[in-house]
Amino acid sequence: MNAKNGLSWIRVRALVRKEINDYRRNRFIAVTMAILPVVFMVSPMITLFKLPADAPASKLDASVGLSALYLMLVPAFVPAVVASYSVVGEREQGTLEPVLTTPIRAGEFLIGKALAALLPAVVISYTMYGVFLGVVGGFAHENVVHDIFEAPRILAQLLFTPLIAGWSIWAGIAISTRTGDVRVAQQLSTLASLPPLAITTLVGFDVIKPTVTVAVGLGLGLLVIDILAWRVVSALFRRERLLTGAKAA
């Protein structure tokens, strides 16, 4: 069914399905997933709609940049909250021990937890971005629309969304493995999800001129960071550590 040392996708899928079933019914996570995207979509829309038709280019750029940043907060925060819950939440419920006594490997557990945070984050973020484009495209001033619909900008948003989420997930899981308290894990993870936003902000505010090359280049940079983060978290991910939250003796 699976290679001797490979991953079992049956187990990974079982974990992803359980996770999504579970946090759909977890009020805190469900509310985070529902409210955050709306807030971070509506506020930039309002800013853009309030721009007068003859707004100076600098003002326009700043507003468009701000909207890009807002939109990027969702793929940063939503998976950070979910991932921060992933290990410490199970430990608190006492469910980690029975899971770890099944044939699941640490790597499968890690990938399953990560995918379960990534999938909803990407779906929510893309949906939100689609609605944002639709509303702005339909109702904003022409010069705003022109700016928002620049191809490199859209490409950057689409590329960066899963990559930013990836960073938040690895940071969130790493923190979740080490803390004994769900709230603390959530706060730390939210903070830890911020640094990569610096990169996207550079593009959003035209500090780096958004071209296709720049978007792809920065995307590759984020990808490398994500892969490194994954390797680091995998290396730190030990069964004994997961169970007790303490360093192995």
Partner 1 sequence: MTVKRDSATTGAGAVPTGPAIVVDGLTKRFGERTAFTDVSFEVAYGEVFGFLGPNGAGKTTTVRTLGTLLAPTSGTATVAGLPLTGANGVEIRRRIAVMPEAPGLYLRLSVAENLDFFAGLYELDDRRARIERALRAVNLLDRADDPCRSLSKGLRQRVGLARALLSDPEILFLDEPTSGLDPLAARDVHELIDGMRRRGVTIFLTTHRLAEAEALCDRVGIMNTTLRTIGRPDELREQLFAKTLQVTTREPVADPGAVFAGLPGVEGWHPASSGDGYVLAVTDPDLAAPAVARALVAADADLLALSPSRHSLEDVYLQLIEEDVEARTR
Interface positions with partner 1 (CB under 8 A): 1, 8, 10-11, 13-15, 17-18, 21-22, 25-26, 93-105, 239-240, 243, 248-249
Residue 97 vs 150, nearer CB to partner 1: 97
CB of residue 182 to partner 1, shortest distance in Å:
14
Residue 21 vs 213, nearer CB to partner 1: 21
Q: Which residues contact 154 (CB under 8 A, 6 or more apart)?
A: 133
Residue 14 vs 60, nearer CB to partner 1: 14
CB of residue 24 to partner 1, shortest distance in Å:
9
Residue 30 vs 232, nearer CB to partner 1: 30
CB of residue 243 to partner 1, shortest distance in Å:
6
CB of residue 58 to partner 1, shortest distance in Å:
50
Tokens of 229: 């983060």
**How far is Cα 29 from Cα 27, in angstroms, rounded to an integer?**
6
Cβ atoms of 111 and 7 closer than 8 Å: yes
CB of residue 64 to partner 1, shortest distance in Å:
41
